[in-house]
Amino acid sequence: MKRKGFGFYFRIYRKILAQDLKSKMSYRADFIISTIGMIFTNIAGFVSFWILFRNFSSINGWGYYEMLFLYGFSLVSLTPVQCLFDNNWSLRQYVYSGDFIKYCFRPINLFFYYQSEVFDIKGLGQLAFGIGTIAYSWANMDLPFDVLALLKLIVFLITASLIMISLQNAAAASCFWIQNSFYVLDLVFRFKDYAKYPVTIFSPVFRFIFTFIMPIAFIAYYPSLVILRPDEVPILSWLSPVIGVIFFIISYKIWMYGAKKYSGTGS
């Protein structure tokens, strides 16, 4: 069978996305309410930092605008997993009901086909809010802004997002082996709330966990140091793009291994 290239999958995804957006826009009230709810949730996080820093000038050496930058960075880096991989939340239902079998007979990549079915457009509101938060904090810290700085920001945002995508892929794939896999996925997802904080504010034990076991420190902290503190960037920050790619490949292999072992209800 001839190997299909990027152009083929891009055309397929564009058609699937168009159909998915049409179906979602037929329920505009639900879309509007959900989007507003997400925006207010993010605003609540913004306000919590404002309240916190009314009482403290800094937290373990991290100022108000630096913390806001981390918050905005985490929101933007988490957007791809929400928009593009939201169907992972339904994976266990398809597997347990036996309906997942329908994805196994199409002549395209199984992982692509399943994930491309759903695009969570509400995540675009989070993306806009995150970009606005980054811009606001950037301007107030008087950080230099040029083409190189923008390129660094984009590259490290993309690679940081691979960490959360990888964690969710692996957690969702647990449904191929674990009956109550929802709790695995939910636990991993809840860890994202810690991504908006610098890992240095945690105890050494949690620093180790958040760096090497549940690597949420790579969602915002380590990548953002390249922008925030360019004179003291640790080696883990420069390695974060490589780590992100490696984790994504591993999670993809786990997901595909489980999917290929799947044989219908009762597997």
> 15-46, pLDDT tens digit by residue?
888 877 777 666 667 667 777 777 777 777 77
Give pLDDT tens digits for 113-132: 999 988 888 788 889 889 99
CB 96 within 8 A of CB 265: yes
pLDDT number for residue 60: 78
Which of these, 258, 260, 252, lies nearest to 112 by C-alpha position?
Answer: 252
> What percentage of the chain's residues is helix, strand, coil (to nearest 5)?
80, 0, 20
Cα separation, 30 vs 9, whole angstroms: 30
Tokens read off for 83: 């928009």
C-alpha distances in Å from residue 27, one per residue of 20, 79, 195:
12, 22, 33
Q: What percent of the chain has pLDDT over 70?
A: 93
Q: Which residues contact 39 (CB under 8 A, 6 or more apart)?
A: 125, 126, 129
The span from the CA of 181 to the CA of 223, in Å, is 30
pLDDT tops 90 at residue 174: yes
Asked if residue 5 has pLDDT above 80, the reply is no
On average, the pLDDT of the chain sits at 87
